[in-house]
A = this chain, B = another copy of it.
């Protein structure tokens, strides 16, 4: 199985994606929050690039909530921030959420020509791994995986890279990797016993701690608690119903 890891949204050179499964990872916090929202009954998430686009989009989606962040802070006038703890059943159950985040949404848009786009985080990694193994047993149209780490400010992000490493490590040794994939696997194997500490020490982790959001960080560092595969289809992120 061929796996290529890209370091950040806005990568200058995208690989050929038309026959790839794309896995988008934005541990702090977009994909972690999306997984949580769907687990809590959110009907769909509509990712958009800017707050202005979110407001305009709401006009055509009656009853939708607005969610997201800019530089880790909530957006004025929005219903929800980017904290997974905002996306509780009482708020998002049965609702659509139009969501804009700095890095995660951009990565999703960059990936949009791929036939399959799934969202991963530590929270749902085991389900992602099992779904990938099923997919590659049954679907011969998909010829490899490209992992889009969302990154931070268009830069390499250690939490996203560790999460990519966890995915690669779980897919066993029978994989062909680019250099960043090899690095991600080594970094994950080196750090897996103290993941939350490594994530806390990262630049993005330190920013969240300084904003009083350590609870989010600890939650987003937790592995394999949500059996959800969010997929991006027809402009919306929804549960995967068939593998």
Contact surface of A with B, Cβ cutoff 8 Å: 7, 10, 12-13, 152-158, 161, 178-180, 182-183, 186-187, 190-191, 201-204
A203 touches B178 (CB 8 A): yes
B158 touches A182 (CB 8 A): yes
Q: Which residue in B13, B158, B178, B183 is a CB contact (below 8 Å) of A161?
A: B183
Most buried by B among A7, A156, A161, A190: A156
Which chain B residues border A202 with CB–CB below 8 Å?
Answer: 179, 182
Which chain B residues border A186 with CB–CB below 8 Å?
Answer: 186-187, 190-191
Which chain B residues border A183 with CB–CB below 8 Å?
Answer: 156, 158, 161, 183, 187
B179 touches A158 (CB 8 A): yes
Cβ contacts A to B, 25 pairs, < 8 Å: A7-B156, A10-B12, A13-B153, A13-B154, A13-B155, A152-B179, A155-B178, A155-B180, A156-B156, A156-B180, A157-B179, A158-B179, A158-B182, A158-B183, A161-B183, A179-B202, A179-B203, A182-B201, A182-B202, A183-B183, A183-B187, A186-B186, A186-B191, A187-B187, A190-B190
CB proximity of A195 to chain B, nearest CB, Å: 13
Closest 10 CB pairs of A and B: A158-B179, A156-B180, A12-B154, A13-B154, A179-B202, A179-B203, A10-B12, A156-B179, A190-B190, A186-B190
Alpha-carbon distance A7/B5, docked complex (angstroms): 13
Question: Nearest chain-B residue to A162 (Cβ)?
Answer: B183
Question: Nearest chain-B residue to A178 (Cβ)?
Answer: B203
Alpha-carbon distance A190/B186, docked complex (angstroms): 8
